[in-house]
């Protein structure tokens, strides 16, 4: 049994057992070991350890094995859209998801993965594995009943004529690799499948797949999405390929017209919380409808390449992350500095999985009420901004972020 595991197990022992052992230790004049008391202590520690392992509380590799981990570099700007990451709600309880993490989880380490896809200047992409992309596309096609024998797969590289036109408009020489493909596509009987370099697949149906009477993918209704999930779970077994699929109805924020919206996805439950977190963050399948949810328009499959594991890194807890947040050591696309701990509404442990991330590493995402935005979108509503604090201990990060008023 490893020393650090025993130490953690001792910390969970009943106080009465510990007091009894203290009494034994303090009776030095007898110079005898009370083997019964020590046996009770060790047995209890072992029992706690066994329970912890089975329940997934100890999720990680021994800390002694983390000494030679490579330093991590955080990308300076990974924003992929306009505006900032904000959520409109009247109360934080309206923002929901099925994130398996909770603050009681005792996580010692979590894996960090190198993102094999690199975006260089002029958006030149390198590191894409087109063999894996093609395998993913064919696997996806088969899972929804498409005969792949004669399926034509093409990439999105521009033709010679298109390249010439783009170069002419640019008025300068474009760097090598600028016209590299970024996507594979195949079509069959009204079904279009795309797989991009980040290993995200999208299945588009035209016409949409109709649902049986009584089922709706209505993004305005949490209840209707939850009800429809049971049907989809059974109908798309081959696509999901999950031993224990978990329903993730997420969202709950409002638009400027006062309309609340949700999304529906599935992820596979693992044998412990580490596997749950990996599947929740990296391996989800979502179903999307048009208009009032009368049919399935899109299915999106998220499956980034995690083959380049950098190691299992020591993780700070949520309280330590709050301290870093207060010190300004965070990433955020919110254009306002963190307003103070009193404005923290909730926290969750997530991976940032955007295509511009240099590595996939865990962060604490804090939902923070933005006082400067109160009442600007909906009367009586609040705007919660997302602030991210690296969950990996700062000694392993070469450029610990410090907010400077910019977007990141």
Q: What is the pLDDT of residues 333-369, one digit of tens each?
A: 999 999 999 999 999 999 999 999 999 999 999 999 9
pLDDT higher than threshold 50 for residue 139: yes
- One domain for residues 147 and 282: yes
pLDDT higher than threshold 90 for residue 48: no
CA distances from 97 to 236, 247, 263, 269, 352 (A): 21, 9, 9, 15, 16
pLDDT at 122: 72
Last residue of a domain, one of 275, 302, 329: 302
What's the domain range around 361? 86-117+312-396
Domain count, the chain: 3
Mean pLDDT of the region 271-286: 97
| Separate counts of helices (H) and strands (E) for the chain | 9, 18
CA distances from 337 to 242, 258, 327 (A): 42, 27, 11
- One domain for residues 97 and 239: no
> pLDDT-derived band of residue 81, with 50, 70 and 90 as boundaries?
low
Last residue of a domain, one of 302, 331, 352: 302
- One domain for residues 195 and 230: yes
- One domain for residues 136 and 283: yes
Q: d(Cα 160, Cα 179) in Å, to the nearest integer?
A: 10
62 falls within a domain: no
- One domain for residues 150 and 258: yes
- One domain for residues 138 and 233: yes
Mean pLDDT of the region 153-157: 96
Q: Which residue has the higher pLDDT, 168 or 195?
A: 195
CA distances from 110 to 48, 66, 267, 325 (A): 22, 11, 19, 20
**Helix (H, G, I), strand (E, B), or coil: what is residue 238?**
helix
How many Cβ atoms from other residues are within 10 Å of residue 300's Cβ?
17
**Helix (H, G, I), strand (E, B), or coil: what is residue 354?**
coil
- One domain for residues 147 and 264: yes
- One domain for residues 326 and 293: no
Mean pLDDT of the region 48-75: 59
- One domain for residues 234 and 149: yes
Comparing 79-83, 102-106, 110-114, 324-328, the range with the smallest average pLDDT is 79-83
133 falls within a domain: yes
pLDDT higher than threshold 90 for residue 70: yes
- One domain for residues 229 and 321: no
Last residue of a domain, one of 247, 270, 302: 302
pLDDT higher than threshold 70 for residue 114: yes
Mean pLDDT of the region 109-132: 92
172 falls within a domain: no
Cα 375-376-379 angle, rounded to 5 deg:
40
60 falls within a domain: no
134 falls within a domain: yes
pLDDT at 40: 41
> pLDDT-derived band of residue 258, with 50, 70 and 90 as boundaries?
very high
DSSP state of 157: P
The chain-wide mean pLDDT, for the chain, equals 85
pLDDT at 253: 97
pLDDT at 66: 54
> pLDDT-derived band of residue 3, with 50, 70 and 90 as boundaries?
very low
122 falls within a domain: no
């Amino acid at each position: 049994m490893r020393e650090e595991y025993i130490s953690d197990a001792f910390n969970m022992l009943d106080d009465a057992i510990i007091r009894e052992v203290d009494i034994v230790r303090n009776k030095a004049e007898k110079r005898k070991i009370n083997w019964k008391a020590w046996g009770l202590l060790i047995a209890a520690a072992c029992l706690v350890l066994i329970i912890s392992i089975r329940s997934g509380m100890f999720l990680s590799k021994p800390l002694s094995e983390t000494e030679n981990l490579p330093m991590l570099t955080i990308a300076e700007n990974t924003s992929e859209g306009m505006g900032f990451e904000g959520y409109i709600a009247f109360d934080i309880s309206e923002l929901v998801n099925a994130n398996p993490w909770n603050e009681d989880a005792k996580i010692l380490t979590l894996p960090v993965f190198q993102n094999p896809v690199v975006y260089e200047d002029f958006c030149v992409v390198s590191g894409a594995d087109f063999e894996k992309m093609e395998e993913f596309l064919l696997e996806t096609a088969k899972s929804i009943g498409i005969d792949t024998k004669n399926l034509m797969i093409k990439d999105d590289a521009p033709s010679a004529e298109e390249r010439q036109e783009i170069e002419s408009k640019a008025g300068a020489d474009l760097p090598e690799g600028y016209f590299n493909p970024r996507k594979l596509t195949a079509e069959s009987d009204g079904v279009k499948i795309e797989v991009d370099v980040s290993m995200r697949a999208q299945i588009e149906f035209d016409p949409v797949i109709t649902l049986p009477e009584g089922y709706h993918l209505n993004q305005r209704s949490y209840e209707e999405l939850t009800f429809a999930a049971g049907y989809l779970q059974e109908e798309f077994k081959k696509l999901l390929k999950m031993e224990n699929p978990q329903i993730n109805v997420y969202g709950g924020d409002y638009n400027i017209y006062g309309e609340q919206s949700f999304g529906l996805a599935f992820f596979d439950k693992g044998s412990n919380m580490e596997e749950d977190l990996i599947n929740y963050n990296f391996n989800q399948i979502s179903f999307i409808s048009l208009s009032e949810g009368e049919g399935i328009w899109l299915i999106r499959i998220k499956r980034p390449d995690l083959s380049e594991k950098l190691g299992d890194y020591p993780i700070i807890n949520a309280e330590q992350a709050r301290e870093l947040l207060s010190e300004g050591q965070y990433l955020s696309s919110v254009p306002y500095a963190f307003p103070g701990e009193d404005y923290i509404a909730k926290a969750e442990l997530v991976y940032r999985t955007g295509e511009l991330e240099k590595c996939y590493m865990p962060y604490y995402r804090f939902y923070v009420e933005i006082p400067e935005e109160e009442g600007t979108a909906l009367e009586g509503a609040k705007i919660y901004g997302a602030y991210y604090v690296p969950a990996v201990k700062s000694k392993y990060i070469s450029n610990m972020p410090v907010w400077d008023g910019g977007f990141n």
